[in-house]
């Protein structure tokens, strides 16, 4: 069996030297992997319980078209999401095209001219800069008279509570918190630390809406930020909660009022959640949610494997090899563009789709620098599938995530190292 495994890795272009190095690293990760398995088991049972409580049946997989009136599958799925995320309501729709769209929808539907949005986790993800108006763009919050302020995290990655207290004023309507790091090499925020700062904010002003960008963080821990008082948690179905099966979509889970506002903005005033056909996607949405905890578990194993390999080789990795994990993203700083490019070539070369394609940096819409992206995915842009990307600018960090199975994530990481060895960037 061992020989067969070595042979097929060799057929996939992996040298014995690289494979032995990686297997030696893997041998020390048994306890971490068992920890991930236990959390996946808990989250799997949580999802099953929510589906059972809402009496999910195969009739909920039926399609609707046109207006989508009385779409029982769609409405029940939103009740399932509300149970899973411990919220009053949820909006889960294929008409939400991506994570950025879901976040823009949550912001634009709950803010009004004269309101202020305050980010307490520093600079938001690049694509939100144009949504907010940090970079001018048509239809931004800034164009509608909504102002923006931010409080950076402290040097240790924790919330600056004094700064937050000083920044909150009579115009502050919403506080935004980004759980994951985006294109920054900062710590990912834990749901527990987020919960602590939510409590602090609500003590200052209980009426402030707290929205958490939950992308890449779902099912990583036993709890979500909504368990600790977030008014909205927002994410993409082609990331964690779609389980690799949802072909499009996003979700917002939160209070009745916030979700009602979001629904009226998504469709039209007076229509709200009543319209929006499911277009035959319900089985994929339900089954993807069912699969999500185990898919996320595989992605976490891949992230820790990558952290341990590249830390051992002397690179700065965030999180480091032993830190707790609060999202599926692993950042690796190479310090030069060649490292990012070769790493991404390795991820692309390990893909089941488009493995023969060579990724190159390009001027991607919504970003302020060239970006390289590697993703041989079944669903375009699906970052719960094995993928890697990064902006071609200092500190030249690559951001690795996903893998629908642990074995695919493992191959991708090994192949990334092979490309770096072949290019003479890494010596084992």
Averaged confidence pLDDT in the chain: 96
Distance CA 77, CA 84 (A): 10
Distance CA 421, CA 419 (A): 5
For residue 34, pLDDT over 90 is answered with yes
Q: Which residue has the higher pLDDT, 125 or 28?
A: 28
CB 266 within 8 A of CB 95: yes
Check which CATH number belongs to the domain holding 319 and give it: 3.90.1150.60
Distance CA 61, CA 73 (A): 6
DSSP state of 184: S
In a domain, 48, yes or no: no
Same domain? 22 vs 95: no
Same domain? 261 vs 325: no
CB atoms within 10 A of CB 267: 18
**Which two structure tokens, joined as six digits, stand for 364?**
């991607």
Using DSSP's 3-state secondary structure scheme, residue 250 falls into strand
In a domain, 405, yes or no: yes
Using DSSP's 3-state secondary structure scheme, residue 70 falls into coil
Percent of the chain with pLDDT over 90: 94
Same domain? 152 vs 229: yes
In a domain, 427, yes or no: no
DSSP state of 254: E
Helices assigned H by DSSP within 230-281? 256-266
| Kind of pairing between the strands at 397-401 and 330-333 | antiparallel
Same domain? 79 vs 96: yes
Q: Which residues of 373-388 are buried (b: 16+ CB within 10 A; e: fewer)?
A: bbbbbebebbbbbbbb
In a domain, 60, yes or no: no
Same domain? 76 vs 156: yes
In a domain, 308, yes or no: yes
What pLDDT does 55 receive?
A: 98
Using DSSP's 3-state secondary structure scheme, residue 198 falls into helix
In a domain, 58, yes or no: no
The separation between the first and the last C-alpha atoms of the chain, rounded to the nearest angstrom, is 26
**Residue of 18, 11, 73, 3 whose CA lies nearest to 420:** 18
CB 176 within 8 A of CB 110: no
Same domain? 203 vs 233: yes
Q: What is the pLDDT of residues 300-351, one digit of tens each?
A: 999 999 999 999 999 999 999 999 999 999 999 999 999 999 999 999 999 9
Distance CA 100, CA 213 (A): 10
Same domain? 240 vs 357: no
For residue 189, pLDDT over 90 is answered with yes
**Which two structure tokens, joined as six digits, stand for 50?**
């929510």
CB 88 within 8 A of CB 236: no
What pLDDT does 2 receive?
A: 67
30 burial class (0-12, 13-18, 19+ CB within 10 angstroms)?
exposed
Structural domain boundaries, residue 11: 2-43+290-422
Percent of the chain with pLDDT over 70: 99
- The total number of structural domains in the chain stands at 2
Q: What is the pLDDT of residues 58-89, one digit of tens each?
A: 999 999 999 999 999 999 999 999 999 999 99
Dihedral of alpha carbons 181, 187, 192, 194, sign: negative
Distance CA 264, CA 272 (A): 4
Q: What is the pLDDT of residues 11-29, one digit of tens each?
A: 999 999 999 999 999 999 9
Same domain? 168 vs 25: no
Same domain? 73 vs 25: no
What pLDDT does 366 receive?
A: 67
What pLDDT does 181 receive?
A: 87
For residue 198, pLDDT over 70 is answered with yes
Distance CA 286, CA 52 (A): 12
In a domain, 305, yes or no: yes
| Final residue of a structural domain among 230, 262, 281 | 281
What pLDDT does 31 receive?
A: 97
Same domain? 170 vs 145: yes
* Bond before 388 cis per omega within 30 degrees: no
427 burial class (0-12, 13-18, 19+ CB within 10 angstroms)?
exposed
Q: What is the pLDDT of residues 370-419, one digit of tens each?
A: 999 998 999 999 999 999 999 999 999 999 999 999 999 999 999 999 99
Same domain? 201 vs 171: yes
| Final residue of a structural domain among 256, 281, 306 | 281
Check which CATH number belongs to the domain holding 138 and give it: 3.40.640.10
In a domain, 25, yes or no: yes
| Final residue of a structural domain among 248, 281, 314 | 281
Same domain? 237 vs 117: yes
């Amino acid at each position: 069996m061992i020989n067969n495994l070595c042979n097929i890795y060799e057929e996939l272009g992996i040298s014995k030297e690289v494979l032995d190095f990686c297997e030696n690293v893997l041998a020390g990760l048994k306890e971490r992997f068992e920890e991930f398995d236990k959390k996946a088991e808990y989250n799997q049972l949580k999802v099953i319980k929510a589906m059972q409580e809402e009496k999910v049946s195969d009739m909920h997989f039926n399609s609707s078209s046109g207006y989508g009136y009385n779409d029982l599958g769609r409405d029940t799925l939103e009740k399932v999401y509300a149970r899973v995320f411990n919220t009053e309501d949820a909006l889960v729709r294929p008409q939400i095209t991506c994570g950025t769209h879901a976040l823009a929808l949550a912001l634009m539907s709950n803010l009004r001219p004269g309101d202020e949005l305050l980010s307490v986790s520093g600079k938001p993800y690049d694509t939100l800069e144009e949504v907010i108006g940090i970079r001018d763009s048509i239809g931004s919050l800034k164009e509608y008279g909504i102002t923006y302020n931010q409080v950076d995290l402290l040097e240790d990655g924790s919330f600056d509570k004094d700064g937050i207290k000083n920044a909150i004023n009579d115009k502050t309507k919403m506080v935004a918190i980004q759980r994951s790091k985006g294109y920054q090499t900062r710590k990912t925020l834990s749901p527990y630390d987020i919960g602590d700062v939510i409590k602090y904010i609500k003590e200052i002003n209980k009426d402030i809406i707290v929205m958490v960008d939950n992308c890449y963080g779902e099912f990583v821990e036993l709890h979500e930020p909504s368990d600790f008082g977030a008014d909205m948690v927002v994410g993409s179905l082609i990331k964690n909660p779609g389980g690799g099966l949802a072909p499009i979509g996003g979700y917002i889970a939160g209070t009745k009022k916030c979700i009602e506002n979001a629904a009226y903005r998504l469709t039209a005033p007076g229509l709200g959640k009543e319209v929006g056909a499911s277009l035959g996607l319900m089985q994929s949405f339900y089954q993807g949610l069912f699969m999500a905890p185990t898919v996320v578990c595989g992605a976490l194993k891949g992230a820790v494997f990558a952290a341990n390999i590249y830390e051992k080789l002397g690179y700065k990795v965030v999180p480091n090899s032993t830190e707790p994990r609060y999202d599926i993203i692993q950042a690796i700083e190479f310090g030069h563009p060649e490292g990012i490019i070769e790493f991404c070539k390795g991820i692309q070369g390990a893909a089941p789709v488009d493995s023969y394609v060579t990724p190159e940096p390009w001027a991607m819409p919504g970003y302020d620098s060239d970006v390289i992206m590697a993703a041989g995915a079944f669903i375009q842009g699906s970052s719960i599938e094995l993928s890697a990307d990064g902006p071609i600018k200092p500190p030249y960090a690559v951001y690795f995530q996903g893998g629908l199975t642990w074995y695919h994530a493992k191959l991708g990481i090994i192949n990334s190292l092979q490309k770096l060895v072949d290019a003479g960037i890494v010596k084992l």
